């Protein structure tokens, strides 16, 4: 077998090395001459879907979902177009195959790009499924049965997570798919039941509806747990008014394939206790993700995991229970499961290990955006969390409903376009959180996340002159507090 | 500064704000009979802990605040409760003592009397409630006559209801004695207080404040700045008038209330830009699986009608909101005729004169013409384009301002043949690297550029909608001339301030003779103290709607509220809505080098490829972002520039962050949102 002697090893393509190797001062390998190997292997999904280098984000996460979200948004723009003078005969049909092919081709080009970047930086890449032999050595079997042993001074575990299957439900594993599969389907999923209330569930249901498919979301309890609940209920409200169906308070009990090939799903309405059924072409499970730690033989290296979540326990330096083994990304207990967080954590870790830096990753005020049909961007605390931490009396929430200018001519409904800023009540009213529901929420939220990082106060944000006419200017125009009880509907220019 | 003056010299002065204090009055009164609600008292009561008539105690007062709803029609300028009230609570040491105007058997008669008194006080420059035999009253009367000031005197001992009047006066002022002196609606107090005010100079100040004006504030110009100032002043209880009149363009275009932004600026241009973006989206959508193969045509009339409908609704909204706030709106052309007096001429040529204590000039700007043969006759400007009843066809855009490039951009987006004629540089004042990139993207997307040429003559070849125009242009560098035939020639070579025909010379408001702009100090005050200016006509200030809105609002709050906050013109962000949008905040690279020197700057930049562009097959290495950092100040970000989709949405938050002192380090520490264009700053620099 091959015996590597890399000074640093990486397990899992989730840690997209190329992403941060280009960032200023971070390419420890190139600059510091370290010998690095990346070991990545994608276990095919139960449906048999597999993909290349780059991890979840590139292959079965952010990238394909944002592209399919964009396809759905374009559908909305096509409907807007006649209002703006474009003579397009409606309705315009959508071809899944064409979209999927385009998206998949882009993802493949990214896989290729990652490989090239690793090569350029002289990072050895092994497409093998590896597990620990001891605390300095991992082992895997290459195609053709050749066993490869790799040893390294430092090992970073970045194996990420995979969608959870509700294996206790009859037919779930057999007939259901997950986000690992949806983006790689060659044929349209047709009428789809999405089970779950995670952002993955809502995003998928959102774009499926947007490209003209019949999509239903089954939610057992609350949607977007962990997010601001007022905002998440508005997200649902918007989706419901734009064609996505919701089965609230329901839990599936079994999935069967009918003779005609359709899937019959049986569920229980938990409020009435009654059983109900429906037929679908596709059932998509989006009920959460499990960390990919079980096959790593972590016990051989002595790396501790959480008994509840199986996620790896780390300290603030991303160090595991074994001094030279680190973990970053979704596989780590208590971290936000976000690509940019993983990238930055990886970059900072490498800078600490080889660049003489002592900068720690700051996991506070991480901005994120849910790409539902009406996008929801947020940074900092939810209103509930702010109240829990500081007390109702010490929290001031400024909010506004607004109408994006582009919605006017298009005759779109803006009932759910809404922004709120959660602040401390005492001057200078530090901003604790920002929540933005509307078009381009991601673009809007990013800069304000910077502001919050700079310790923005309400007064400072209000002193910022708006950019007219944009949606983001609504943030710097927030004048109505919830406490005042005044109508937060923005009128006029 | 009025507030400070009031606190000085222990003068028992209180400025009367008709209706404005009613909310507080209500809140603190004992329960009253619900219907009909008693009208709010016109005056605030001032506590006098000492014996009545004593002149030695401190006057306590609270600033105007949290006004509440009052009886409709009672006081014209009133607003409903507002969150801002929380911010202007009484400063420590000042307490308002309010009486309870509880109902009584003769309450209606009392209200009537109160109303009469208020009228008397409001209409008199000096109002003295006196008793003919009172020596103190005589002293006060003598003081005013020695100052040559005419007084309105009511001898309470010589009228039938003198005793009642004194009672009501005591309710209003908490002063039971005579003389009871008001100057320009301000309650000065009794004899000693009047003399104290005289000695401290307060009296003279109060006398200077003419109250005999029709309005507290007249605003000339109903655009973004003027309207925001008007609304805010009205909210603060002032009697406000807005004069707005759109002189039709040479092509005959005119519009409604709201000024440039709403009618012929930001709003229609962003909507037409959106229409053009939709054209691009239609192309993209095929790549994303949407299927239609017909050649999609654009219908100018459909779009324009929809946009104009939206604008009409905005015009209507503005009128409604002025009415709600009891701001008098007059659709007439305002022109100063003498100090504090303005002539308003309506469409029919009828003239009316209005006076006001203070004025705000917010007349904005209008597009400039070339001054060559045929330009006013045949060319259009942005004043005309957005409501043009026909598609402009093959268009020559003259100019390289952002207006020129934005218009050229969306016209090309509709599939029209567009040429931009540029005298020298693109987007003067903006970062030139960015400006050139904006231009080259447009060029790649079908807009033709004729650089270093200026038109010298426009001839009409054919009439029509559109017609045909021949443009003769000459090189700015040599003798070369060129000729071109276009359906439409759109001039976008700059804008001129509307300051030369509004009688400013009559009252001595200085303008920059060359530019026509009005120089103001940091509180937007012109060379004439009672005249202020906001918006595009200000010298050296950004010509942007949100800036005008902000400065108009803050001006009103300083003039009539308790605020001292000045408009902050630093790091004002803006966005140019060219086909590829360009957002920026802070300094252009050239300017940064000029101010800080090249060696003290670190400039980070990157090209980027928006995710949505990949599948759409749009070009890579086109979108671009850069930040300029000052190495001498912790790598503080002093300039932010981004060229890409949704640049406006991206830039806004960066501007807020720059307000909070953004540094490169903080930028590095902030996590990006993936996958967005906004994350470019966090991932790529």
**Over residues A426-436, mean pLDDT:** 97
Residues in the annotated binding site of A = 66, 196-203, 288, 330
In a domain, B55, yes or no: no
- A430 and A413 housed in the same domain: yes
Buried b (16+ CB within 10 A) or exposed e, B545-561: bbbbbbbbbbbbbbbbb
Select the residue of B292, B321, B611 nearest A66 (Cβ to Cβ).
B611
- B587 and B602 housed in the same domain: yes
Query: What is the domain extent for residue A391?
Result: 374-482
More confidently predicted of B89 and A208 = A208
Q: Cα–Cα distance between B593 and B660 in angstroms, integer?
A: 23
- B442 and B456 housed in the same domain: yes
Residue A207 has pLDDT above 80, yes or no: yes
- A65 and A96 housed in the same domain: yes
pLDDT of residue B684: 61
How many structural domains comprise chain B?
4
Start-to-end CA distance of chain B, whole Å, equals 48
In a domain, A395, yes or no: yes
Instruction: Encode pLDDT of B132-165 as tens digits.
Output: 999 999 999 999 888 888 888 999 998 888 888 8
A94, A394, A435, A468: the active-site residue: A468
Select the residue of B290, B653, B672 nearest A451 (Cβ to Cβ).
B653
- A91 and A200 housed in the same domain: no
| Mean pLDDT estimate for chain A | 91
ω into B147 cis (within 30 of 0): no
Q: Cα–Cα distance between A398 and A377 in angstroms, integer?
A: 16
In a domain, A7, yes or no: no
In a domain, B47, yes or no: no
CATH code (residue B170) = 3.40.30.10
- A76 and A115 housed in the same domain: yes
Residue B22 has pLDDT above 70, yes or no: no
In a domain, A487, yes or no: no
- A100 and A239 housed in the same domain: no
Chain A contact for B678 (CB, 8 A cutoff): yes
Residue A2 has pLDDT above 60, yes or no: no
Angle at B133 between CA B132 and CA B137, to 5 degrees: 70
**Over residues B283-298, mean pLDDT:** 92
Burial of A5 (0-12, 13-18, 19+ CB in 10 A): exposed
More confidently predicted of A490 and A133 = A133
Select the residue of B83, B546, B663 nearest A480 (Cβ to Cβ).
B83
Can you count the helices (H) and strands (E) in chain A?
Answer: 16, 24
In a domain, B418, yes or no: yes
- B434 and B333 housed in the same domain: no
Residue A458 has pLDDT above 70, yes or no: yes
DSSP H or E stretch at residue B626:
strand B623-630
**A98 to B682: CB separation less than 8 angstroms, yes or no:** no
Question: How close A66 gets to chain B, by Cα (Å)?
Answer: 7
pLDDT of residue A34: 80
- B192 and B225 housed in the same domain: no
Domain boundary among A287, A316, A341: A287
Question: How close A143 gets to chain B, by Cα (Å)?
Answer: 32
pLDDT of residue B347: 94
- A92 and A196 housed in the same domain: no
Instruction: Encode pLDDT of B652-662 as tens digits.
Output: 999 999 999 99
| Mean pLDDT estimate for chain B | 84
- B346 and B457 housed in the same domain: no
Domain boundary among B493, B522, B548: B493
Strand order from edge to edge, sheet including A137-141: A2-4, A147-151, A137-141, A129-134
Residue A153 has pLDDT above 80, yes or no: yes
Q: Which chain B residues have a beta carbon less than 8 Å from that of A469? A: 266-267, 270
**Over residues A59-63, mean pLDDT:** 96
In Å, what is the CA distance from B23 to each residue of A452, B19, B239, B405, B428? 36, 8, 18, 51, 51
In a domain, B260, yes or no: yes
**CA proximity to A192, closest of A243, A229, A231, A153:** A243
In a domain, A367, yes or no: no
In a domain, A362, yes or no: no
Instruction: Encode pLDDT of A29-41 as tens digits.
Output: 444 568 888 999 9
Chain A contact for B605 (CB, 8 A cutoff): no
pLDDT of residue A11: 57
In a domain, B3, yes or no: no
Q: Cα–Cα distance between A328 and A330 in angstroms, integer?
A: 7
| Eight-class DSSP state of A92 | P
In a domain, B60, yes or no: no
Under 8 Å between Cβ of A442 and A450 = no
- A249 and A313 housed in the same domain: no
Question: Which 3 state secondary structure label does DSSP give A298?
Answer: helix
- A406 and A425 housed in the same domain: yes
CATH code (residue A113) = 3.50.50.60
Q: Which residue of B has its CA nearest to A447?
A: B653
- A66 and A153 housed in the same domain: yes
Under 8 Å between Cβ of B338 and B506 = yes
CATH code (residue B629) = 3.30.390.30
The region of weakest confidence among A9-18, A441-450, B387-396 is: A9-18
**Over residues A81-89, mean pLDDT:** 96
Q: Cα–Cα distance between B81 and B120 in angstroms, integer?
A: 29
- B504 and B359 housed in the same domain: yes
Angle at A409 between CA A404 and CA A415, to 5 degrees: 45
In Å, what is the CA distance from B204 to each residue of A355, A383, B359, B559? 72, 53, 21, 19
- A151 and A197 housed in the same domain: no
ω into A217 cis (within 30 of 0): no
Residue B123 has pLDDT above 80, yes or no: no
More confidently predicted of B65 and A284 = A284
Instruction: Encode pLDDT of A376-427 as tens digits.
Output: 999 999 999 999 999 999 999 999 999 999 999 999 999 999 999 999 999 9
Chain A contact for B258 (CB, 8 A cutoff): yes
Q: Cα–Cα distance between A235 and A198 in angstroms, integer?
A: 12
Q: Cα–Cα distance between B49 and B57 in angstroms, integer?
A: 7
Q: Which chain B residues have a beta carbon less than 8 Å from that of A463? A: 568, 659
Domain boundary among B164, B179, B208: B208
pLDDT of residue B639: 97
Instruction: Encode pLDDT of A249-283 as tens digits.
Output: 999 999 999 999 999 999 999 999 999 999 999 99
Domain boundary among A305, A322, A355: A355
**Over residues B548-575, mean pLDDT:** 92
Domain boundary among B167, B187, B208: B208
- B239 and B347 housed in the same domain: yes
In a domain, B92, yes or no: no
Burial of B355 (0-12, 13-18, 19+ CB in 10 A): middle
How many structural domains comprise chain A?
3
In a domain, A493, yes or no: no
C-alpha B593 chain-centroid distance: 32
**B656 to A63: CB separation less than 8 angstroms, yes or no:** no
In a domain, B457, yes or no: yes
B69 pLDDT band (50/70/90 cuts)?
Answer: very low
**B318 to A492: CB separation less than 8 angstroms, yes or no:** yes
Please provide residue A422's backbone torsions phi and psi, each rounded to the nearest 5 degrees. Answer: -100, 120
**B652 to A442: CB separation less than 8 angstroms, yes or no:** no
Q: Which chain A residues have a beta carbon less than 8 Å from that of B291? A: 92-95, 98
- B395 and B515 housed in the same domain: no
pLDDT of residue B535: 97
Give the catalytic positions of B in this structure. Answer: 674
Q: Cα–Cα distance between B121 and B152 in angstroms, integer?
A: 9
**Over residues A192-205, mean pLDDT:** 97
B74 pLDDT band (50/70/90 cuts)?
Answer: very low
The region of weakest confidence among A109-118, B399-408, B451-460 is: A109-118
- B358 and B234 housed in the same domain: yes
In a domain, A489, yes or no: no
C-alpha B580 chain-centroid distance: 29
Query: What is the domain extent for residue B489?
Result: 380-493
Residue A241 has pLDDT above 80, yes or no: yes
Burial of A482 (0-12, 13-18, 19+ CB in 10 A): middle
Instruction: Encode pLDDT of B484-518 as tens digits.
Output: 999 999 999 999 999 999 999 999 999 999 999 99
pLDDT of residue B89: 34
**B289 to A102: CB separation less than 8 angstroms, yes or no:** yes
Q: What is the percent of chain A with per-residue pLDDT over 70, rounded to a whole number? A: 92
Most distant CA atoms of chain A, gap in Å: 72
In a domain, A383, yes or no: yes
**Over residues A134-144, mean pLDDT:** 88
**Over residues A306-324, mean pLDDT:** 95
- B221 and B313 housed in the same domain: yes
pLDDT of residue B497: 97
Angle at A459 between CA A456 and CA A460, to 5 degrees: 45
Burial of B83 (0-12, 13-18, 19+ CB in 10 A): middle
Q: What is the full DSSP assignment across B82-97?
A: -GGGGGGPPPTT----
Q: How many CB pairs under 8 A join A and B?
A: 317
**Over residues B50-68, mean pLDDT:** 37
pLDDT of residue B210: 53
Question: How close B382 gets to chain A, by Cα (Å)?
Answer: 17
- B334 and B353 housed in the same domain: yes
Residue A20 has pLDDT above 60, yes or no: no
Question: How close B414 gets to chain A, by Cα (Å)?
Answer: 9
**Over residues B305-332, mean pLDDT:** 96
Q: What is the percent of chain A with per-residue pLDDT over 90, rounded to a whole number? A: 83
CATH code (residue A424) = 3.30.390.30
- B335 and B432 housed in the same domain: no
**B661 to A81: CB separation less than 8 angstroms, yes or no:** no
**CA proximity to B183, closest of B201, B209, B165:** B209
Please provide residue B37's backbone torsions phi and psi, each rounded to the nearest 5 degrees. Answer: -65, 135
Residues in the annotated binding site of A for FAD = 66, 330
**Over residues A443-468, mean pLDDT:** 94
ω into B675 cis (within 30 of 0): yes
pLDDT of residue A333: 95
**A103 to B656: CB separation less than 8 angstroms, yes or no:** no
Domain boundary among A229, A260, A287: A287
Residue B233 has pLDDT above 90, yes or no: yes
Question: How close B271 gets to chain A, by Cα (Å)?
Answer: 6
CATH code (residue B343) = 3.50.50.60
Which of the listed ranges A99-108, B43-52, B139-148 does the model predict with the highest average pLDDT?
A99-108
pLDDT of residue A491: 56
Residues in the annotated binding site of A for NAD(+) = 196-203, 288
In Å, what is the CA distance from A344 to each residue of A339, A348, A453, B677? 9, 6, 15, 17
**Over residues B285-310, mean pLDDT:** 94
Q: Cα–Cα distance between A14 and A11 in angstroms, integer?
A: 8
**Over residues B611-631, mean pLDDT:** 95
Which of the listed ranges A27-31, B80-84, B422-426, B527-531 does the model predict with the highest average pLDDT?
B422-426
- A383 and A469 housed in the same domain: yes
Burial of B159 (0-12, 13-18, 19+ CB in 10 A): exposed
Phi/psi-derived region of residue B632, left when phi > 0, alpha when psi is between -120 and 50, beta in every other case: alpha
Q: Cα–Cα distance between B270 and B581 in angstroms, integer?
A: 11
More confidently predicted of A148 and B417 = B417
**Over residues B178-190, mean pLDDT:** 84
B295 pLDDT band (50/70/90 cuts)?
Answer: confident
Kindly give, in sequence order, each residue whose CB lies less than 8 Å from that of residue B241, ignoring residues fewer than 6 positions away: B214, B215, B217, B218, B219, B327, B328, B329, B330, B354, B356
- A69 and A134 housed in the same domain: yes
Q: Which chain A residues have a beta carbon less than 8 Å from that of B572? A: 465
DSSP H or E stretch at residue A149:
strand A147-151
């Amino acid at each position: 077998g091959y015996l590597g002697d890399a000074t640093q090893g990486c397990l899992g393509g989730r840690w997209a090395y190329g992403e941060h190797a280009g960032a200023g001062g971070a390419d420890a390998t190139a600059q510091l001459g370290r010998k690095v190997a990346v070991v990545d292997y994608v276990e095919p999904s139960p449906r048999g879907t597999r993909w290349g280098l780059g991890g979840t984000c590139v292959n079965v996460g952010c990238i394909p979902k944002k592209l399919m979200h964009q396809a759905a948004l374009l559908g909305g723009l096509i409907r807007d177009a006649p209002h703006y003078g474009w003579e397009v005969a409606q309705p315009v049909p959508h071809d899944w195959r064409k979209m999927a092919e385009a998206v998949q081709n882009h993802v493949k080009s990214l896989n290729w790009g990652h490989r090239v970047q690793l090569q350029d930086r002289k990072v050895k890449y092994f497409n093998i499924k590896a597990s620990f032999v001891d605390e300095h050595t991992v082992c895997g079997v290459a195609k053709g049965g050749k066993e490869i042993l790799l040893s390294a001074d430092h090992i970073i575990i970045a194996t990420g997570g995979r969608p959870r299957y509700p294996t206790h439900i009859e037919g779930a594993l057999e007939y259901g798919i997950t986000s690992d599969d949806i983006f790689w389907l060659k044929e349209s999923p047709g009428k789809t039941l999405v089970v779950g209330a995670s952002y993955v569930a809502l995003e998928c249901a959102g774009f499926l509806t947007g490209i003209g498919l019949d999509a239903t979301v089954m939610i057992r309890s609350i949607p977007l747990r962990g997010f601001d609940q007022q905002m998440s209920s508005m997200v649902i409200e918007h989706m419901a008014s734009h064609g996505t169906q919701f089965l609230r308070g329901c839990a599936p009990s079994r999935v069967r394939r009918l003779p005609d090939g359709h899937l019959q799903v049986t569920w229980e309405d938990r409020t009435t206790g009654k059983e109900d059924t429906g037929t679908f072409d596709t059932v998509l499970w989006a009920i959460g993700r499990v960390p990919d730690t079980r096959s790593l033989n972590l016990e051989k290296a002595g790396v501790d995991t959480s008994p509840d979540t199986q996620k790896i326990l780390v300290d603030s330096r991303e160090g595991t229970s074994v001094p030279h083994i680190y973990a970053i990304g979704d596989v780590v207990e208590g971290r936000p499961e976000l690509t940019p967080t993983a990238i930055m954590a990886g970059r900072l870790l490498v800078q600490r290990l080889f660049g003489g830096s002592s900068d720690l990753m700051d996991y506070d005020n991480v901005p994120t955006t849910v790409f539902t049909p009406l996008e929801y961007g947020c940074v900092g605390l939810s209103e509930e969390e702010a109240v829990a931490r500081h007390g109702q009396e010490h929290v001031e929430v400024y909010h506004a409903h607004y109408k994006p200018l582009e919605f006017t001519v298009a005759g779109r409904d803006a009932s759910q376009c809404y922004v709120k800023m959660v602040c401390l009540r005492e001057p200078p009213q530090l901003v604790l959180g920002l929540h933005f529901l509307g078009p381009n929420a991601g673009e809007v939220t990013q800069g304000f996340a910077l502001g919050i990082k700079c310790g923005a106060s309400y007064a400072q944000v209000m002193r910022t002159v708006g950019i007219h006419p944009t949606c983001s200017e609504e943030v710097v125009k927030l004048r109505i507090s919830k406490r005042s009880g005044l109508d937060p509907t923005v009128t006029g220019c | 500064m009025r507030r400070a003056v009031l606190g000085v010299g222990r003068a028992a002065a209180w400025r009367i704000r008709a209706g404005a204090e009613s909310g507080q009055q209500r809140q603190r009164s004992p329960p009253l009979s619900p219907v009909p609600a008693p009208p709010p008292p016109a005056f605030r009561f001032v506590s006098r802990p000492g014996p009545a008539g004593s002149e030695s105690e401190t006057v306590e007062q609270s600033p105007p605040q949290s006004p509440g709803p009052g009886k409709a029609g009672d006081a014209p300028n009133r607003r409903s409760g507002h969150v801002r009230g929380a911010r202007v609570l009484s400063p420590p040491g000042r307490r308002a003592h309010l009486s309870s105007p509880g109902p009584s058997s003769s309450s209606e008669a009392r209200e009537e009397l109160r109303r009469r008194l208020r009228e008397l006080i409001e209409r008199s420059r000096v109002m003295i409630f006196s008793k003919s035999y009172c020596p103190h009253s005589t002293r006060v009367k003598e003081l005013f006559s020695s100052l040559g000031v005419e007084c309105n005197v009511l001898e309470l001992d010589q009228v039938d209801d003198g005793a009642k009047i004194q009672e009501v006066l005591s309710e209003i002022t908490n002063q039971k004695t005579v003389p009871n002196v008001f100057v320009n609606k301000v309650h000065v107090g009794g004899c000693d207080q009047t003399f104290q005010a005289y000695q401290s100079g307060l009296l003279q100040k109060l006398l200077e404040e003419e109250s005999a004006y029709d309005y507290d504030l007249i605003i000339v110009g109903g655009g973004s700045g003027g309207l925001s100032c008007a609304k805010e002043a009205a909210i603060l209880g002032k009697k406000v008038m807005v004069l707005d009149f759109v002189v039709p363009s040479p092509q005959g275009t005119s519009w409604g209330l709201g000024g440039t932004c709403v009618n012929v600026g930001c709003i229609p241009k962003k909507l037409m830009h959106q229409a053009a973006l939709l054209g691009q989206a239609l192309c993209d959508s095929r790549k994303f699986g949407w299927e239609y193969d017909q050649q999609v045509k654009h219908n100018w009339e459909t779009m324009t009608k929809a946009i104009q409908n939206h604008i009409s609704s905005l015009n209507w909204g503005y009128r409604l909101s002025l009415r709600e706030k009891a701001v008098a709106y007059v659709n007439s052309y305002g022109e100063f005729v003498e100090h504090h007096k303005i002539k308003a001429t309506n469409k029919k040529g009828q003239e009316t004169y209005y006076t006001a204590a203070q004025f705000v000039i917010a007349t904005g700007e209008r597009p400039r013409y070339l001054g060559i043969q045929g330009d006013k006759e045949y060319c259009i400007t942005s004043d005309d384009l957005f409501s043009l009843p026909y598609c402009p066809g093959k268009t020559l855009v003259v100019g390289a301002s952002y207006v020129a490039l934005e218009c050229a951009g969306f016209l090309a987006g509709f599939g029209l043949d567009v040429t931009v004629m540029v005298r020298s540089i693109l987007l003067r004042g903006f970062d030139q690297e960015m400006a050139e990139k904006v231009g080259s993207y447009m060029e790649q997307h079908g807009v033709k550029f004729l650089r270093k040429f200026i038109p010298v003559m426009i001839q009409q070849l054919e009439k029509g909608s559109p017609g045909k125009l021949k443009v003769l242009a000459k090189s700015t560098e040599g003798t070369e001339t060129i000729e071109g035939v276009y359906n439409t020639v759109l001039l976008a070579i700059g804008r001129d301030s509307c300051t030369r025909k509004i009688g400013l010379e009559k009252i001595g408001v200085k303008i920059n003779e060359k530019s026509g702009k009005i120089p103001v100090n940091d509180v937007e005050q012109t060379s004439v103290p009672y005249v202020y200016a906001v918006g595009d006509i200000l010298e050296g200030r950004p010509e942007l709607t949100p800036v005008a809105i902000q400065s108009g609002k803050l001006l009103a709050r300083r003039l009539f509220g308790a605020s001292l906050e000045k408009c902050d013109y630093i790091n004002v962000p803006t966005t140019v809505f060219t086909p590829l949008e360009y957002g920026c905040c802070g300094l252009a690279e050239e300017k940064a080098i000029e101010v800080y020197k090249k060696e003290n700057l670190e400039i980070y930049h990157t090209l980027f490829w928006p995710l949505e562009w990949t599948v759409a097959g749009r070009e890579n290495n086109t979108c671009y972002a850069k930040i300029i950092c000052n190495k001498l100040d912790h790598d503080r970000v002093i300039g932010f520039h981004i060229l890409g989709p949704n640049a406006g949405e991206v830039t806004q938050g960066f501007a807020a962050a720059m307000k909070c002192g953004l540094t490169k380090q903080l930028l590095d520490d902030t996590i990006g949102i993936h996958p967005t264009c906004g994350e470019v700053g966090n991932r790529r620099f």
